[in-house]
Amino acid sequence: MSVVKPKDLALTEERLAPGHRLCPGCGEPTTVKLVLKASDDPVIVCSATGCLEVSTSIYPYTSWNVPWIHSAFENAAATAAGVEAAIKALKRNGVYKYDKVNVLAVAGDGGTYDIGFQALSGAFERYHRIVYLLLDNEAYMNTGIQRSGGTPSYASTTTSPDGKVIPGKLQTKKQISRIMVEHEPAYVATISAAFWQDLIQKSKKAFAADGPAFLHSITPCPRGWRHADNLTIELCRLAVQTCIFPLWEAEKIDGKMVYKLSAPSKQIAKNPDKKKPVVEYLKLQGRYRHLFKPEEKTELINQIQEWVDTEWDIILERCGEK
Amino acid sequence: MSEEKSWREIPLGGLTWLHSSEYKTGEWRSFRPVVDHNKCTRCMQCVIYCPDIAIKYKPDVNMIEINFDYCKGCGVCAEECPVHAITMVKEKE
Amino acid sequence: MSKIVKQEMMGMNGDTACAYAVKQCNPEVVAAYPITPQTIIVEVFSEYVANGEVTTEFIPVESEHSAMSTSIGAAAAGARAYTASASQGLALMYEMLYIASGLRLPIVMTCVNRALSAPINIHGDHSDAMGARDSGWIQLYCENSQEAYDTVIQAWRIAEHKDVLLPVMVNIDGFILSHTLENVAVLPDDAVKKFIGEKKIPVVKKPSGELTPYVLHPDYPVSMGAIDLQDYYFEHKRQQAEAMKNALKVIKEVGEEYGELTGRRYGLIDAYMMDDAEIAIIVMGSTAGTAKYAADLMREKGVKAGVLRVRSFRPFPRDDIVKTLSKVKACAVLDRSISFGSYGGPLFTEIRSSFCYECEKPIIINYYYGLGGRDTPPNLLENVFSELKRIVETGKIGEEIRYLGLREDSIDSVNYKAELISFKDLNTGNIGGK
């Protein structure tokens, strides 16, 4: 696919409008507006309950320049499946004007890893032609930063707080995108707004896919991660550079899911020296502050590094880089 | 804010009837981005990254323009500008 | 009437009758999950799809929650959407029921009424639908499979009426209707198609005067399901209340029009020998048929017995009920569900409160009956009439809230009670005396 020129991207119609009430520096709107720009065809958006939904639809206002529906928290994929099915049937009955309409389901980590997983898994198994965008800010931010299946180890949340005995979340982050690959859909990719060229290319592939596509975005939350508002994109970048959130895609080719690294992750695979230590990513975030203060908890930081290395190895292996 | 309507005056089903561009989030700002247009290379990074869709590129004048009705002052543009053409200055009281 | 179309008789159970009606309506989307005793609907409809008899997009969803979510997405995108459920399935989609009605989406669902767990029970009662009585759905209860067929067809017209725009739940009793073979008169396909008509898209007006179609269509960027806070939520609920009120009229109109076509008229209530009735049974669903038979037997004995079947529970036809019962001396309201801790069943409390400020009112007693599919044969209903007759004659009411068809209890037995022990007692086997 051809490279998108920055000016062309800047001038592409905005499908998400200003005046939304997401926090300053929120990672969500950048990803959402970019993914929406990647579709050349009309898009209908089905939002799960969450920050994006409440902040873009405070009645009587809306920030959506495209048709948009929110019904509940755990069912973005099922609602999107209904929209897709309706369009299919209306086309069959000869009353639909458009040949191709993209249906985009958007949900956070709560609506994807946890409460919404059943609906997501079902919709992917049934092979609806929908694009599912996961905005992973690694906790239930809308209700005030509670742990989710997507919260990484030792991150402090309001339901996995760092206490005198327990240093934040004790479990590891669920590998949701690999689980989605095992559904053998048309397309799965991880994206980071920092690498917008990669994000646009993958979104285009997702919209062009002839079956379900899953886009997993690392989405910093200045409130929940307790980082400075201006560091949102830098954290998106560091997540990739440290390999805690590698960029890859898996495409169904001849019935088989083929993994492939992209952008900096591909370069890191070729040149492992480029892989930054995860501590660089952790130290910018207040949710990991207890790992550094009052004294540095080297053992816990090392455990996170080991986890990152193990998961990175798995990805390298899947991508045939090992 | 709009004048509040009665139940007979609004559409059914909770359908929205105002666009958020009528809602000014610029009031939230405590720091304001200031662009040095001489330094600016029109690379578009700020336009692409702006979470508030508050930075536009104006091709007729070949300049970027920040809409302070919406800019919440997060500072992502200043942080990401590769030539440091944007600085954040404190808003006056 | 000459306008009545020729209809074919088909041997069908209630589930198949519903599926057949849906086939003739040919909605764009059917999303359903199987659950006893609704399963036949899903299976039969799947066959129609497999044989190319419908153009419907059938979605065998992974749960009832997704069945309703998918129906919501489909209806919002401008499709006719149908689903069917029962019992636990309806309970699982409970959250989405409120969203379907709140978003004003005219979805049609058959609820094959079944008891709720625990203990698990697959047989008929109204506990499932009664749990959803405040969900903003129109609830119609059918007496037989013919009515199930007829009501599924009428449901679209009611749901999609511009003054209503609410989802409709067509209730049929589990097994008694769903699995029992009956002769059902069916309309020709084109007559059904003509009756329900083309699916129309509502157009609404914004305060600015701008018109917008209420549908997810690429040319009209509407937002549905916004967050609605203290300033407007109440207004939207008021609109729903108004739509429900309008449905009272629309259900009657559609039932009348359907009657012109088929010879079978439907309304909000079904009054059987109520004109001169002194005693009456008020009931919903299939038990009305048995009650009518019992009333016939009483009439043979010279007792002026009648039956009032409530067809529409939501909206509640308060005026029609009061009018029909005002001359009755004593009546018994039969509830096939318990609202635990309430003073009487849901139908009873609503009917009693309807008479609160009426000058002419009958004595009203309440029977719980038929829970978990407990059989309610004619002799039990004859007993109810006899009891009403006794109350009229003696003026002595006795217990107001009663249980019909429950075994006589032995007052000496306390096995239904429990004693409490400490968890540690489990280790020593010290669980108390004999």
CA dihedral C149, C150, C153, C154 (to 10 degrees): -150
Q: What are residue C359's phi and psi, to 5 degrees?
A: -75, -45
* pLDDT at residue C17, as a whole number: 98
Give yes or no for C97 touching A (CB within 8 A): no
A182 occurs within a structural domain: yes
A1 occurs within a structural domain: no
Residue numbers in C near A57 (CB within 8 A): 223, 225-227
State in Å, rounded, how far the first CA of chain C is from the last one.
Answer: 73
* pLDDT at residue C198, as a whole number: 96
Using one digit for the tens of pLDDT, what is the confidence trace for A82-122?
999 999 999 999 999 999 999 999 999 999 999 999 999 99
* pLDDT at residue C2, as a whole number: 56
Indicate if the pLDDT at residue B11 is higher than 60: yes
Give yes or no for A19 touching C (CB within 8 A): no
Contact C207, B17 (CB under 8 A): yes
Structural domain that includes position A126: 6-318
Using one digit for the tens of pLDDT, what is the confidence trace for C261-281?
999 999 999 999 999 999 999
Rounded to whole angstroms, how far apart are CA atoms B3 and C36? 51
Tally of domains within chain A? 1
Cα→Cα distances A225→A145, A164, A194, C153, Å: 9, 20, 17, 54
Give yes or no for C165 touching B (CB within 8 A): yes
Q: Answer yes or no: same fold for C8-262 and C269-404.
A: yes
Cα→Cα distances A259→A22, A94, A236, Å: 34, 39, 21
Cβ separation B16–C223 shorter than 8 A: yes
DSSP code per residue over A59-78: TTEE-BSS-EEE--SS-HHH
Cα→Cα distances A247→A36, A195, A236, Å: 19, 9, 11
Stretch (H or E) spanning A10: helix A6-11
List the structure tokens of C97.
Answer: 């029921």
Strand C330-335 with C363-369, pairing: parallel
Q: Give residue for tokens 């909000």.
A: C268
Confidence of residue C254 (pLDDT cuts 50, 70, 90): very high
The whole-angstrom distance between C29's CA and the closest CA on chain A is: 6
How many residue contacts between B and C have a Cβ separation below 8 Å?
A: 63
* pLDDT at residue B2, as a whole number: 57
Give yes or no for B23 touching A (CB within 8 A): yes
Give yes or no for C57 touching A (CB within 8 A): yes
The closest of C80, C78, C139, C143 to C110, measured between CA atoms, is C139
* pLDDT at residue A2, as a whole number: 77
Find the CATH number of the domain harbouring B44. 3.30.70.20
B65 occurs within a structural domain: yes
Contact C172, C18 (CB under 8 A): yes
Using one digit for the tens of pLDDT, what is the confidence trace for C194-226?
999 999 999 999 999 999 999 999 999 999 999
List the structure tokens of C280.
Answer: 């009456």
In chain C, what are the domain boundaries? 8-262, 269-404
The whole-angstrom distance between C118's CA and the closest CA on chain A is: 24
B59 occurs within a structural domain: yes
Indicate if the pLDDT at residue A42 is higher than 80: yes
Contact B31, B90 (CB under 8 A): yes
* pLDDT at residue A217, as a whole number: 98
B55 occurs within a structural domain: yes
Q: Which of B52, B57, B70 lies nearest to residue A11, judging by beta carbons?
A: B57
Find the CATH number of the domain harbouring A189. 3.40.50.970
A112 occurs within a structural domain: yes
Using one digit for the tens of pLDDT, what is the confidence trace for C74-117?
999 999 999 999 999 999 999 999 999 999 999 999 999 999 99
CB-based contacts of C362, cutoff 8 Å, min separation 6? C280, C325, C326, C328, C329, C330, C331, C355
* pLDDT at residue A322, as a whole number: 85
Average pLDDT of chain C is 97
In CATH, C269-404 is 3.40.1520.20 = no
Q: Which of A25, A196, A234 lies nearest to residue B74, judging by beta carbons?
A: A25
Average pLDDT of chain A is 97
- What is the average per-residue pLDDT within A255-278? 97
Q: Is the ipTM of this complex over 0.95?
A: yes
Using one digit for the tens of pLDDT, what is the confidence trace for C167-195?
999 999 999 999 999 999 999 999 999 99
State in Å, rounded, how far the first CA of chain B is from the last one.
Answer: 23
Helix (H, G, I), strand (E, B) or coil at A159: coil
Tally of domains within chain B? 1
Give yes or no for A68 touching C (CB within 8 A): yes
Q: Which of A65, A88, A90 lies nearest to residue C78, judging by beta carbons?
A: A90
| Touching C: A residues 44-63, CB under 8 Å | 44, 46-47, 53-54, 57-62
Structural class in CATH, domain C8-262: alpha beta
Structural domain that includes position B69: 24-90
Rounded to whole angstroms, how far apart are CA atoms A132 and A29? 16
Q: Which of B6, B7, B15 lies nearest to residue C222, judging by beta carbons?
A: B15
Rounded to whole angstroms, how far apart are CA atoms C145 and C131? 23
Contact A97, C37 (CB under 8 A): no
* pLDDT at residue C252, as a whole number: 98
Which residues face A190 on adjacent strands? A216
Helix (H, G, I), strand (E, B) or coil at A136: strand
Give yes or no for C101 touching A (CB within 8 A): no
* pLDDT at residue C409, as a whole number: 80
Helix (H, G, I), strand (E, B) or coil at A239: helix
Rounded to whole angstroms, how far apart are CA atoms B86 and B90? 13
List the structure tokens of C125.
Answer: 């009662």
Neighbours of chain C (3+ CB pairs under 8 A): A, B
* pLDDT at residue A256, as a whole number: 96
Residue numbers in C near B22 (CB within 8 A): none
Helix (H, G, I), strand (E, B) or coil at A130: coil
The closest of B39, C9, B69, C72 to A119, measured between CA atoms, is C72
B39 occurs within a structural domain: yes
* pLDDT at residue B93, as a whole number: 65
Strand C211-213 with C203-205, pairing: antiparallel
B44 occurs within a structural domain: yes
